[in-house]
Amino acid sequence: MDLKKTMNGYFERTQLPAEISPEKMTPVIIKKDVKSESAEKQPVPAKAEQPAPAKAEQPAPTKVEQPAPAKAEQSAPAKVEQPAPPKTEQPTPPKAEQPTPPAESKPVPEIGASAFIKIVRHHRITGREFLNLLGNSKISNKAYQEIENSKGLTVKRLIEILEESSLTREDYEKLIIAVQQTAAARDKAKADQSEPVQPQAPQAEEKPAEKAEPAAEEHPAKAKEEQTKELPKTEKAPVNIKPEDEPSDEPDDEDEEDEEEEKKPLSTKKLFIIIAVAAIVLIALSFVIRYVATGSFLPGENGGASSQNLDESGLFAAMNGLPVSTQPAFTRNAAYTAGTPYKESDVTDRVMKGDRFVFCDKDTVYILRCSDGVMQQLDSRSYGEDVKLLGLLDTEKGVAVISETLKEGIANASEGDDSPAAEIAASRYETVVELLDGELPENRQNISLYKFSGRCAGAWTESGKAIFALWEGLADGANGSDGNSFMPYVTAPDNNTSYCSAENVFIGSTPANAGFVTVFSLDVQSGSVSCATAAGSEGQLVYGQGTDIFVFQGNTLLRYDVSGNVTLKDSCTVTGIAAGFSAVRKDEDGIKVTALDNGSAVLNVLDNDLNSVMTVNGIGGGELAATCFNGGETYIVDASGKAYGIDAEGKTMEESTVEVTAGSTAAYNDKMNIRISPSGDAGQRTGLVLSAVSPTGEVLSTLEINSGTVADNAKDEYISSPAETDSTAIGIDAEKGVIAVPVTYFDGVSQVERFFICNISGEGELTYKGSIIEYDRNSSKLFALIQDDIITAVMSGGRIISADPADCSVIAYVNIHRSEEIYSYQA
Amino acid sequence: MSEILTLAAGGDTAAFTQLYTRSYKKIYFVAYYSLATSKEAVEVMTASLKSAYEEIGGCKSEEDFDLLWLKKTCEQIIARYREYRKTPPRQEPDPDFIKASMNRLTDAERLAVTIWAEFDLEPKDIASVTGLKLEVVSKKLDSAREKLAQKL
């Protein structure tokens, strides 16, 4: 087939607007030019001076350029749909047909099946309600029965059935009005219902609306406001329009409600009673249905969260126009510690692998060789301004350097004098993983380069795999008809790009945000990558434990299994929604999830199959900051630092069994931790206190660090330690009972960087041993390592010193330097 | 400079009409099938024509003017694409088959393939008039042709 010829054939049949006919266009151009500017610009002879013909006839250019069809478009909303594709194609819901706010009863133009379905979903019409509405329409029996009897009917198919049915635009208009009335009546009923019937376990569905629910609006601004008034928790009620979702003999409440809407004369009292009774019946029914479907009255039991089964264009349509979450995916706020600290992600800033030591500071990766305690710098790689260095991951194969960059739109117009580069394609963040040579990380010729779409929220190593949880908003400039412009992807070292399949995307039935959290699993030996994605929600907490990666979004907890290819293992809904203080923890007792519910924290305890075991409501209040776990205990910390403890039985603890602290605590061993904190009163720093503390917070011993003790000549108010905020800066050898603590201060003459070396007894007694000291350096990174009986003091400002912990004598030192040459990813 | 160009530059309507008639359909097709609506296409076409006419003095032949106009049109189209990134365009209702098929392509794909079809230009020449990188044009042209071949 000659494509060009075929296209031209079609093009030639295109109707040309009258405005561009030569007769109309010529006067527009010629008159204007002759009149204003052509004379001086054009080196044209005498004719340029000819009087412009028929000036009076020249229409105002702006008017001339407005073709008739434009008028309708002018008044249309800004967000617009892709045009309806041929019938055989996946329907892309038209933007213009997106649900109008409920207050408006006027149907939008171009009403059709997809618009109707959009509005149905917007109003969370249940399957039963939907069937009732259809049953009262002029839909053919055949189409109705097909919808009614289809199990697992997809939205796409549903729209196709409706399109093929005999429904007209007028029918859709009537249906939409009925939908709006049904939703309004239902909302009113729920709003009026103060305390619904509730079984002993907390059931999110029955609770009144709460303000913080982030889930479930298909459309931004107005819809979001609306949501605060609506029933955030009704998202738990089936929103899908599958008819089988409510197979009961539910009464046709909506019919009655519709009538009530129309016949206002009905007394308010009567109306209220009818609505309240209907609501209670509905709620009771929802319990019955859940019981029938899942065998349990409790949410999350056995049942996974509902997900839409959408293809790429469907995903795009579901999220396009929704706001991109301002809060990228995140890990637990680890600023607070209860008992023994633990890490939320395996990303670090230093890795000792064999005799190679790799660390990163700001924009530079340093690679050194360590031989008998003597360091030798092999390479330094300074990444440019357009790359953000995130850290390192110690994989089985080698050190992985993780960085982030913004991949500009792939189609850039060249820069002209007055026109800046135009980005046509989507710009997307990429997390770049450079898997260095396992033995010779300095070898730039053997780097496996992977580029994952999105920004890194957390990374873990597990069974020979590197796992990455990445977040990205729906790409700006994405095109719904081109999945490659927005679907998560990975570009392998051979430069082949693979995209996450739409089948592996979980998206709730009412997405609230346009974005993805993707779990990528990279087999570091084979180089194979698999992925699965959660889409459409705000506030996505990620947590990794072994082969389980959890993504907590909205009120849905998703668990991915990364033992093989990444797969969605199971999911459940929990009480409350993911919030900044939320955390997930899996241990031998099961899984704990903290969430926000009615302005306070709620603890969901699940068993290992995600069945709900226990829910504890009403923990704390106000501004909540963090969750800490300690064994079976859970602590919710508010912004003032106050901790609310819940024991393993779900009871409120009168007193914490462990100390909940802000700041940095380094895990020493099971019996004690090391902490360094400022000393002084009333905000006046007078030095530091190094403490050995038991997990319960009992201080076993302390060592003052100030000018009167071990920091000679120090100006006490200037004494600080990077370990105050980053406990990993402390070098620990628990076996030998040695710690090295980096401290900086000003001694009146010089800036001092000093490592205090202490012995620590089995009982926690701290004894000052000696120090490593450097003057007039200004390191942005200062940390100690103790390995193979050698203390390595790293001062990124220029020197690494190795010392013998026995007598603190210097074994060797090496000056390190940052390369001025900008490093580029090695292809 | 050819006589027609000289006359057109001087404001000769007949000459300009002759010049305009040479390629206005092609330009319109490029604009219309690259953009969302006929209205936008007309706006872009008019603005680019004005802009090209201002620079007509630099053209030696009618073909030069055709390409200049096409280049100006591409600039306008790309500017519209930038706007699309902020505000998605409203497509025309009930597009015909070819318009619907074109709408399924990405922005850059539509632009590249319509120029290729209408002006019969090589990728390097398309890159030149659009300002896009050659590799981008080649890639987009390939993908667009592949997608369209399945439809048409």
DSSP secondary structure code for residue A479 in this structure: B
Residue A427, pLDDT above cutoff 90: no
Q: Provide CB contacts within 8 A for A509, sequence distance 6+.
A: A121, A216, A235, A238, A239, A240, A306, A307, A308
Do A648 and A676 share a domain, yes or no?
A: no
Q: Using a CB-CB distance cutoff of 8 angstroms, which residues of chain A are in contact with residue B82?
A: 422-423
From the list B50, B57, B152, which residue is nearest A7 (CB)? Answer: B152
The fraction of chain B above a pLDDT of 70, given in percent, is 99
Quote the domain boundaries for residue A458.
Answer: 384-410+424-661
For CA atoms B29, B34, B35, B40, the dihedral sign is negative
A-B contacts (CB, under 8 Å): 226
Do A24 and A130 share a domain, yes or no?
A: no
Residue A192's pLDDT band (boundaries 50, 70, 90)? low
Do A656 and A669 share a domain, yes or no?
A: no
Domain boundary among A276, A297, A318: A297
Residue A119 belongs to what H/E stretch? helix A113-122
- Give the closest-approach CA distance of B62 to chain A in angstroms: 16
Interchain proximity A44–B6, CB inside 8 Å = yes
In B, minimum Cα distance to A10 occurs at: B98
Mean pLDDT for chain A overall = 76
Residue A79, pLDDT above cutoff 60: no
Interchain proximity A1–B107, CB inside 8 Å = no
Do A203 and A252 share a domain, yes or no?
A: yes
- The ipTM is 0.89
Do A634 and A709 share a domain, yes or no?
A: no
What's the whole-number mean pLDDT along residues A431-439? 95
CATH homologous superfamily of domain B3-151?
Answer: PhyR, sigma-like (SL) domain (1.20.140.160)
Interchain proximity A10–B98, CB inside 8 Å = yes
Dihedral pair phi/psi, residue A771, rounded to 5°: -155, 160
Q: Give residue A168's Cα distance to chain centre.
A: 41
Interchain proximity A412–B132, CB inside 8 Å = yes
Helix A3-12 / helix B134-151 crossing angle, nearest 10 deg: 70
Q: B84 burial class (0-12, 13-18, 19+ CB within 10 angstroms)? A: middle
Residue A314 lies in a domain: no
Residue A543, pLDDT above cutoff 70: yes
Cβ A189 vs Cβ A280: under 8 Å: no
From the list A44, A67, A413, which residue is nearest B10 (CB)? Answer: A44
Cβ B82 vs Cβ A425: under 8 Å: no
Of A133-147, A227-241, A418-432, A662-676, the range with the lowest mean pLDDT is A227-241
Q: In chain B, where are the structural domains located?
A: 3-151
Interchain proximity A25–B49, CB inside 8 Å = yes
Of A166-175, A453-462, A780-789, A808-817, the range with the lowest mean pLDDT is A166-175
This prediction has a pTM of 0.57
Q: For residues A611 and B60, what is the distance between their CA atoms, to the nearest angstrom? A: 78
Q: What is the DSSP string of B50-68?
A: HHHHHTGGG-SSHHHHHHH
Residue A268, pLDDT above cutoff 50: yes
- Give the closest-approach CA distance of A59 to chain B in angstroms: 14
Q: Using a CB-CB distance cutoff of 8 angstroms, which residues of chain B are in contact with residue A487?
A: none
Q: Closest Cα to residue B137, out of A72, A285, A424? A: A424
Do A40 and A152 share a domain, yes or no?
A: no
- Give the closest-approach CA distance of A513 to chain B in angstroms: 17
From the list A45, A64, A83, which residue is nearest B103 (CB)? Answer: A83
Place of tokens 């009897």: A149
Q: Closest Cα to residue A318, out of A219, A199, A460? A: A219
From the list B11, B107, B145, which residue is nearest A424 (CB)? Answer: B107
Interchain proximity B20–A19, CB inside 8 Å = no
Interchain proximity B46–A25, CB inside 8 Å = yes
Do A457 and A555 share a domain, yes or no?
A: yes
Residue A217, pLDDT above cutoff 70: no
In B, minimum Cα distance to A418 occurs at: B75
Checking B125-131 for CB contacts under 8 A at 24+ apart, the result is: B128/B71, B129/B67, B129/B70, B129/B71, B129/B74, B130/A413, B130/B71, B130/B74, B130/B78, B131/A413, B131/A414, B131/A416, B131/A422, B131/B74, B131/B75, B131/B78
Q: CA dist A436 to A397, A398, A428, A449, A498, Å? A: 8, 6, 24, 9, 22
Q: What's the token pair of residue A761?
A: 């007894």
Residue A337's pLDDT band (boundaries 50, 70, 90)? confident
Length of chain B: 152
Residue A320 lies in a domain: no
From the list A38, A61, A481, which residue is nearest B9 (CB)? Answer: A38
Q: What's the token pair of residue B30?
A: 């490029």
3-state secondary structure string, B82-104? HHHHHCCCCCCCCCCHHHHHHHC
pLDDT, tens digit (0-9, with 9 covering 90-100), for A493-518: 998 999 999 989 998 878 888 889 99
- Give the closest-approach CA distance of B15 to chain A in angstroms: 10
Do A559 and A680 share a domain, yes or no?
A: no
Domain boundary among A232, A263, A297: A297
pLDDT, tens digit (0-9, with 9 covering 90-100), for A100-152: 333 333 333 456 787 778 777 766 777 777 877 887 777 777 787 778 777 66
Do A253 and A184 share a domain, yes or no?
A: yes
In A, minimum Cα distance to B29 occurs at: A11
Q: For residues B151 and A745, what is the distance between their CA atoms, to the nearest angstrom? A: 72
Place of tokens 């197979």: A247
Residue A209, pLDDT above cutoff 50: no
Q: Provide CB contacts within 8 A for B150, sequence distance 6+.
A: none
Residue A735, pLDDT above cutoff 70: yes
The domain total for chain A is 4
Residue A82 lies in a domain: no
pLDDT recorded at residue A618: 92
In degrees, rounded to 5, the angle at the alpha carbon of residue A774 between the alpha carbons of residues A768 and A777 is 135
What's the whole-number mean pLDDT along residues A198-211? 32
Q: Using a CB-CB distance cutoff of 8 angstroms, which residues of chain A are in contact with residue B117?
A: 3-4, 7-8, 11
Do A53 and A153 share a domain, yes or no?
A: no
- Give the closest-approach CA distance of B73 to chain A in angstroms: 13
Residue A367, pLDDT above cutoff 90: yes
What's the whole-number mean pLDDT along residues A709-724? 89
Q: For residues A772 and A805, what is the distance between their CA atoms, to the nearest angstrom? A: 10
pLDDT recorded at residue A42: 39
In B, minimum Cα distance to A11 occurs at: B29
Do A480 and A430 share a domain, yes or no?
A: yes
Q: Closest Cα to residue A135, out of A163, A175, A170, A99? A: A175
Q: Using a CB-CB distance cutoff of 8 angstroms, which residues of chain A are in contact with residue B28?
A: 16-17, 20
Do A750 and A652 share a domain, yes or no?
A: no
The answer for A641, left when phi > 0, alpha when psi is -120 to 50, beta otherwise, is left
Q: For residues A402 and B148, what is the distance between their CA atoms, to the nearest angstrom? A: 39
Residue A210 belongs to what H/E stretch? none
pLDDT, tens digit (0-9, with 9 covering 90-100), for B46-98: 999 999 998 888 888 999 999 999 999 999 998 888 777 667 777 777 788 88
From the list A27, A65, A81, which residue is nearest B91 (CB)? Answer: A81
Cβ A241 vs Cβ A127: under 8 Å: yes
pLDDT recorded at residue A322: 86
Residue A356 lies in a domain: no
Q: Which residue has the higher pLDDT, A263 or A339?
A: A339
CATH number where A483 lies: 2.130.10
Residue A280 belongs to what H/E stretch? helix A268-294
In degrees, rounded to 5, the angle at the alpha carbon of residue A348 between the alpha carbons of residues A524 and A474 is 70
pLDDT recorded at residue A440: 95
Most B-contacting residue of A2, A5, A42 (CB-CB within 10 A), to test interface: A42
Cβ count near A610 (within 10 Å): 26
pLDDT recorded at residue A396: 94
Please name the residue ranges forming H helices in A139-220: 141-149, 155-164, 169-192
